[in-house]
Amino acid sequence: MRNIRAILRKELGTYFASPMAYIMAGVFLALTGVFFVNSVDQPFAEASVRGLLATSSFFLLTLVSPLLTMRLFAEEQKLGTLELLLTAPVRDYEVVVAKFLASFVMLASMALATLFYAALLAYYADPDLGPTFSAYVGFLLYGAATLAMGLLASTLSSNQIVAAVVGFGLILVFTLVDQVSNILSGTVARVLERLSLSAHFDAFNRGVIDTADIAYFLILMAVFLFLTIRSVESRRWR
């Protein structure tokens, strides 16, 4: 626990010390702002953050998650600091969990900032708080799963760009599998559809919190965190 906290604190410090985090947060807020205005500024618009969060999940998480995670292992491998981190009495899972939590805290802070739009809505209109809440829960779960994918990608290369691209590809595959399932049929199609990130997010966005959807995101996250731990461990067996 102490190790996790120490590494988490160090990673957050690095995030906040780098201009990258601020640029990303800025772009994130600007884009979510545009999505928000788009979703509200139309005839018969509904007073909800649904449009905002749906669009940002699909487009932003696919981009933002790998950007947030690309540095976490790739840079340590490039600088060689991983050699010191892994020769300290720290368990591999502690390193992975701490780094994952750091990226999650960053993502959650960005999501928190978009509450500003929700607050605007609440001020000028009377949005339904239920779906707003469930959409945020879905967004965070969606984020957690994609961050875990990005983290795995980061262990695979010492080049941050490569890590980001691989992570992006991985997330894209999981976002778009249901598109593939459209051209297939039968069991395969149904399985692929159940695998899709976007399909599971839809329910949250409609205000439905289903344990199956929660489980899906959590399992996906756990699987990728597990793979990340194995990837870090693997250097000990090579």
Partner 1 sequence: MSTQPMIEVDHLTKYYGDFPAISDVTFNVAKGEVLGFLGPNAAGKTTTMRVITGFLPPSQGTVRVAGYDVVADSLEVRRLVGYMPETVPLYTDMTVKDYLAFMGTIRGMSRKAIERRKSEVTEVCHLEQYYGSLIGKLSKGFRQRVGIAQAILHEPEVLVLDEPTIGIDPIQVVETRQLIKSLGGQHTVIVSTHILPEVSMICERVIIIHEGEIVTVDKPENLAARLEATEHINMEVRGPTAAVVNVLRSVPGVQDVSFSPQADLKARYALVGRRGEDLREALAKAVVEHGWGLVELAAVSMTLEQIFLRLTTAEEA
The residue ranges that bind partner 1 (CB under 8 A) are 2-3, 6-7, 10, 13-14, 17-18, 79-91, 235-238
Residue placing its CB nearer to partner 1 in the complex, 123 or 237 = 237
Question: CB of residue 80 vs partner 1: minimum separation in angstroms?
Answer: 3
Residue placing its CB nearer to partner 1 in the complex, 7 or 53 = 7
Q: How far is Cα 238 from Cα 221, in angstroms, rounded to an integer?
A: 26
Q: How far is Cα 38 from Cα 67, in angstroms, rounded to an integer?
A: 25
Question: CB of residue 155 vs partner 1: minimum separation in angstroms?
Answer: 15
Question: CB of residue 216 vs partner 1: minimum separation in angstroms?
Answer: 34
Q: How far is CA 96 from CA 21, 180, 217, in A?
A: 20, 32, 18
Tally of CB atoms within 10 A around 186: 8
Question: CB of residue 68 vs partner 1: minimum separation in angstroms?
Answer: 16
Question: CB of residue 7 vs partner 1: minimum separation in angstroms?
Answer: 7
Residue placing its CB nearer to partner 1 in the complex, 134 or 231 = 231
Residue placing its CB nearer to partner 1 in the complex, 63 or 232 = 232
Residue placing its CB nearer to partner 1 in the complex, 1 or 183 = 1
